[in-house]
Chains A and B, each alone.
Chain A
Amino acid sequence: MSLSNTPSSSSPLSNLWLTRPFSERSTRIFLTVLALALAVVTVLHLALPAGHPLHVSSYTVTLLGKYLCYALLAVAVDLVWGYLGILSLGHGAFFALGGYAMGMYLMRQIGDRGVYGDPVLPDFMVFLNWDSLPWFWHGFDMAWFAFLMVMLAPGLLALLFGFLAFRSRVTGVYLSIITQALTFALMLAFFRNEMGFGGNNGLTDFRELLGFDLRSDATRLGLFLASGVALALGYVVCRGIVGSKLGRVCVASRDAEARVRFLGYRVERVQLCVFVVSAMLAGVAGSLYVPQVGIINPSEFSPLFSIEVVVWVALGGRGTLYGAVIGAILVNYAKTVFTGVMPDAWLFALGGLFVVVTVLLPKGIAGLMSRRRKADSETQLKEATP
């Protein structure tokens, strides 16, 4: 998409929507911080001996990798909620679908090393007395196909769902509730053994990814770094969309949908396009999440998880993208601490967070930071003009 109408564009790079974000200050800061964090963790993990107080264990590396996947998911949610005004309570479904696509590939990689030693069928199918692979499992032995499906499966679901929903102008609260029903229905479906996705237990016992042993520290570090790179790419893509003309139509339709429609834009197409991109990003996040935690089961579809993602974004500050990353990492760090120290208190804390953020912090942490900056500049102004 060309951006010839942006007056500030001077260098040829800023004419491309994907390279434009690199000229933004906030994106540069974000990418620098992310790169620094990745580098520091890698160095601390590799260079220091295991007993050293600053050593980052491979458990922590995986945990941080998990946070990065969550952050990418939060960025995807923020793209549709913050800029499109669509509160999706079903993004966990796209995340889980991406995860399942990766899980299916990992299952096929186990080969004949499963408990039952069947060269083709995963263990749970042997256990259920299935004699052949269901049609939708074919092709997942090839990495390129699986990685394609990681994006395609959630993308197609979002395309179908979004097409139906946006065409009939289901928006606002209705859409939120329907997305929640969607993920709830998918959860019920995936819980069934007959669906062929491992039912209640999901997919687990993974061994290797692209030939790398999933249990080795090097692979874990690699996955952590891959998650970081995916987050950076996802962030840049979202930033690119947001800064483009498409992004401006998004924001406009968030604030005054009817007016944008009267101006001649096909709002439903804009919404559909961004919604599908967001779902694909969520799928990628899920696919990187699964090899790190080593299991994917239907509970990832639970409405609670999807709505939790929304509160990460709300805490960080919707409509900022970097806020979503901050929110995701903060809340999940708090969750790790709380569930370790006092597991009972976690739901109180999470529930309280929902209330406090919506009532007292409508703009989230990012809003706090920018308010402070604004206040600073105002006092500077005052000082400058006696």
Chain B
Amino acid sequence: MRITRCLTLWLLLCALMLALLGSAQAQQDDPGKPLLEALASASYAAKSDAIDAIVASGDSRSRAWLEALNDGKLQQNKQTGQFVVVLANRGRNWPVEDALSGEPLGEMSRRELDRIGINNALRGQLRSTLAVLDLYVDNPDARLQAANDLLGQVDAGMVAPLEAVRDQEPSEAVQERLTEALAIYRLEQGDAQAIEALSGSLHPEARAALNGAAASDDPALAAQAKKALDGIEQTLKINRGFETLYFGLSLGSVLVLAAIGLAITFGVMGVINMAHGELIMLGAYTSWGMQQLLPGQPGLAVILSIPAGFLVAGLAGVAIERCVIQFLKGRPLETLLATFGVSLILQQLVRTLVSPLNRTVITPEWMSGSLVINDALSLTLNRLYVLGFALLVFAGLMLVMRRTRLGLEVRAVTQNRAMARSMGIRATRVDMLTFGLGAGVAGLAGVALAQLTNVGPNLGQSYIIDSFMVVVFGGVGNLWGTLVAGMSLGVINQVLEPWAGAVLAKIIVLVFIILFIQKRPRGLFPQKGRAAEG
């Protein structure tokens, strides 16, 4: 495994070199040649100096040479004195390539070749040199990564080169990391001064080193380490708090997305739509279907599935309104039952037409990964996107309700249907559009959910009760209430989870809402005035 990885790296480097060097002509006065010749000298002391010289040269091939040397694959042709790198040392004849130009030289018999030998001391030197070598690259992110890898890996031989590197390092972040890496080593050696450098670090290696020091025999050192650890623990606690808050907001944003369509159909129109969860599911399946249509372009598919999900779910909503709900005006309990029937049909439809199994939606590259704040806190990007999306949808919906003709008509019909109709508003059309809007928003929720969980026929079912709880908790007919309620329920759930477990946390939240409704039957932000009487 490692060998193959080395080989691939090697081949890549060779290709690069070929491009750089261009012709074999340049080989004659290649600056690398004397460096390699120095390696081939007999004495180990001279070889050690030669290794340092290679590092100091800054040659782009130096890493490959040193790795080959470490693996015993840097060899010299006995007759021509040509330096070669063995690609695979199995069997009698080995494929080789030129160490300087990287040209493949076909196969050579093992008898023709002479290995450049190393001893244990050199091996140690090579290991630390190779670790430090990555710190010489130009890309600061790669340097930071290399410095990160060094935490807890520093040994005696690396201290001097690392200090030298640190002093000429332009990036502060890399410098800090190197200081930490060195401090961990020094702390392990019993140096109390190093504690100060580590007291601000959140990296687990730093904490491990401090824990080791806290358990040491030296009371002064132990006390100091303990103090530093307490400080770190404090910072970690704050970070964990932020993490919980983030997860809570993320869960809350999902709840808000799922509930906000319901807040329109239930809150504004007074229609209990038990099929709301299945409209979410339709949105999620649209997202999945879009990816099937556009294979290999998950980013485009996600962007296109936003309008598509809205349309699919919205049209399904309009159909439900036309075929079922309009006949049940003023009979909320019957509406509840009928829409529940619709939800069963939709679920089974998806099971029959697509599959009863869960489907996965690929997360596009720009949405995967995470935003690293510090060693203890990183925010997953897809959740961040969903959070932003939820807020956007909320703002958009607010705009529609407050600033458009449709919003005005919806509010008019809600407040006084008869009066609105006598003013020339077509109430049945408004009903249809409002329901379509609420259903479309459910579709948007589905598109977002598809990025977080698997898409399956039961997706909607698991959100319907939660969504109703959010709407009821926030106060029916109030979009702001839905936002606040969704976010706070999400955070409460996440805060309870660590000590109660996921299931119990959910139960506690449900019981809490049931009790809350007893106290304030109209939710957090009850509607006031005449509209509340209906």
Contact = CB atoms under 8 A, between A and B. Distances in A.
Contact of A167 (B272, B504, B518): B518
A90 to B, nearest CB: 11
Given A347-B344, A348-B348, A172 B514 contact: no
Interface string A164-201: 11011110111011101110110011011000000000
Contact of A355 (B341, B352, B472): B341
A134 interface: no
Contacts of B347: 347
Of A164, A185, A355, most buried by chain B (CB within 10 Å of CB) is A355
Of B324, B465, B514, most buried by chain A (CB within 10 Å of CB) is B514
B338 A180 contact: no
A314 interface: yes
Interface stretch (B87-95, B114-122, B174-182, B326-334): B326-334
Interface in B510-534: 510-511, 513-515, 517-519, 521
Contact of B336 (A87, A164, A184): A87
Contacts of B328: 358-359
Contacts of B468: 177, 180-181
B343 interface: yes
Interface size class of B (residues with CB under 8 A): 35 or more
A355 B465 contact: no
Main secondary structure of the interface of A (DSSP, over half): helix
Interface string A300-311: 000100010011
B337 A181 contact: no
B77 to A, nearest CB: 70
Of B324, B338, B347, B506, most buried by chain A (CB within 10 Å of CB) is B338
Interface size class of A (residues with CB under 8 A): 35 or more
B408 interface: no
Contact of A184 (B332, B352, B465): B465
B469 interface: yes
A344 B352 contact: yes
Contacts of B340: 307, 351, 354
A352 interface: yes
A362 interface: yes
Given A173-B272, A181-B465, A182-B514, A351 B519 contact: no
Contact of A169 (B333, B511, B521): B521
B42 interface: no
A179 B330 CA distance: 21
A94 B506 CA distance: 21
B345 A351 contact: yes
A184 B337 CA distance: 17
B342 interface: yes
Contact of A314 (B337, B465, B511, B514): B337
A350 interface: yes
B341 A353 contact: yes
Given A173-B272, A174-B521, A358 B337 contact: yes
Contacts of A359: 324, 327-328, 338
Contact of A188 (B333, B341, B503): B503
Contacts of A311: 337, 341
Contact of B334 (A189, A350, A362): A362
B507 interface: yes
B351 interface: yes
A354 B521 contact: no
Nearest to B341: A354
Contacts of B337: 307, 310-311, 314, 354, 357-358
Contacts of B334: 314, 358, 362
A174 B518 contact: no
Contacts of B336: 87, 173, 176
A181 B338 CA distance: 19
B519 to A, nearest CB: 7
Nearest to A359: B327
B345 A188 contact: no
A355 B342 contact: yes
Interface in B483-517: 503-504, 506-507, 510-511, 513-515, 517
A355 B510 CA distance: 29
Nearest to A184: B465
Interface string A103-137: 00000000000000000000000000000000000
A132 B468 CA distance: 40
Contacts of A191: 503
A221 B40 CA distance: 97
Of A87, A176, A352, A358, most buried by chain B (CB within 10 Å of CB) is A358
B47 to A, nearest CB: 63
Given A168-B521, A355-B338, A192 B345 contact: no
Contacts of A357: 337
Nearest to B501: A192
A189 B341 CA distance: 27
Contacts of A173: 272, 332-333, 336
Nearest to B325: A359
Nearest to B508: A185
A351 B465 contact: no
Interface string B236-275: 0000000000000000000000000000000000001000
A357 B327 CA distance: 12
B279 to A, nearest CB: 15
B338 A170 contact: no
Contacts of B521: 168-170, 174
Contact of B344 (A177, A185, A351): A351
Contacts of A177: 272, 465, 468-469, 472
Given A351-B345, A354-B338, A358-B337, A188 B506 contact: yes
A182 B517 CA distance: 13
B518 A170 contact: yes
Contacts of B324: 355, 359
Given A173-B336, A181-B465, A358-B328, A168 B348 contact: no
Contacts of A350: 341, 344
A20 B272 CA distance: 39
A164 B465 CA distance: 20
Interface in B328-369: 328, 331-338, 340-345, 347-349, 351-352
Interface string A349-374: 01111110111001000000000000
Contacts of B331: 358, 362
Contacts of A358: 328, 331, 334-335, 337-338, 341
A191 B324 CA distance: 35
B454 to A, nearest CB: 20
Contacts of A161: 514
A14 to B, nearest CB: 34
A184 B328 CA distance: 27
B345 A164 contact: no
Of B352, B507, B515, most buried by chain A (CB within 10 Å of CB) is B507
Contacts of A167: 518
A168 B338 contact: no
B341 A351 contact: yes
Interface in A140-179: 161, 164-165, 167-170, 172-174, 176-178
A353 B338 CA distance: 9
Interface string B464-482: 0100110010000000000
The 10 lowest CB-CB distance pairs between A and B, nearest first, are A354-B341, A351-B344, A351-B345, A347-B348, A185-B510, A358-B338, A351-B341, A358-B334, A355-B341, A164-B518
15 contacts: A168-B518, A168-B519, A188-B503, A191-B503, A307-B337, A314-B337, A344-B348, A344-B351, A348-B344, A348-B349, A350-B344, A351-B345, A352-B345, A358-B338, A359-B324
Given A188-B506, A348-B345, 5 more contacts: A169-B521, A185-B510, A307-B340, A347-B347, A351-B340
Interface of B: 272, 324, 327-328, 331-338, 340-345, 347-349, 351-352, 465, 468-469, 472, 503-504, 506-507, 510-511, 513-515, 517-519, 521
Interface of A: 87, 161, 164-165, 167-170, 172-174, 176-178, 180-182, 184-185, 188-189, 191-192, 303, 307, 310-311, 314, 344, 347-348, 350-355, 357-359, 362
